Amino acid sequence: MDTIYEGEQIPAIRDVSLRIASDEFVCIVGPNGAGKTTLLETINGLLTATRGVVRVLGHRVDRKGPWLRAKIGYTPQNFSVDPDTPFLVKQVLVMGRYGRVGMFRGLTSGDMSSIERAIEMMGIEDLLDRPVGKLSGGQLQKVLLARAIAKEPDLLLLDECFNSLDPQSKAKVLDILQTLNHELGLPIIVVTHGYFAVLDVCDRVIGLRDGRIVADISHPTDKEKEVLRQGNLIP
């Protein structure tokens, strides 16, 4: 699989062949510009592969992109919100649930329960009536994660989801991801460039450099983590 950004000639990811099991917790690492975000966006159908076929949940992304995205929870990297955005946090969470059930269907009590569980899980009860544009970076990250979780996705794609979080919140989010993966069997793909505690709990680490997969390790040992460091895939 290759993906080339519009206007570019060199693929941002190239010769990528990757199969992920339906219950795996996968961490993608690599230096800046390695193609980590591009890979995640291609899996999510936000970018179109220029060579090869991408299948997610058993379906081709190029044929069922919108249908698949309704089943995928996704948090983008460096997501920003205009300070004047009028929506409250609780409205943003409801919008996320509509992303699963469709805009033209009213939310049921079950839908609202899913939102409430995500709020409690992320501990953002005190943010619900805050304008989303007035949140700090860490608060916004928690809201985006809650929105993705409230969707009750079949696949969770998280791009630098630990950014802007304090150490305690990072540990809490990692614990939540483990619970979702172990207890619900939710497949999770996390891109990280700075929080490597995830390497201790994930099933598999994919290392990217210059758009290519250069490492694929299951349950990395300390020795294998040192190899990743020596290859500048992690600091």
Classify burial at 196, counting beta carbons within 10 Å of its beta carbon; exposed 0-12, middle 13-18, buried 19 or more: middle
**Domains defined for the chain, CATH in brackets:** 1-71+154-235 (3.40.50.300), 80-153 (no CATH)
Q: Yes or no: say if 13 and 35 are a contact pair by the CB < 8 Å rule.
A: yes
Q: pTM of the entire structure?
A: 0.94
Give Cβ neighbours of residue 63 (< 8 Å, ≥ 6 apart). none
Give residue 102's pLDDT. Answer: 79
Cα 52 off chain centre by? 22
Residues 167-180: tens digit of each pLDDT: 999 999 999 999 99
Min mean pLDDT across 76-80, 124-128, 198-202, 217-221 is at 76-80
b/e map 45-60, b = 16+ CB within 10 Å: bbbebeeeebebeeee
CA distance 60 to 218: 26
Helices and strands, number each (H, E), in the chain? 7, 8
Looking only at the bridges linking them, the beta strands covering 155-159 and 25-29 are unpaired
Give residue 67's pLDDT. Answer: 93
| pLDDT averaged over every residue in the chain | 92
Give residue 106's pLDDT. Answer: 81
> What is the pLDDT averaged over residues 86-97?
92
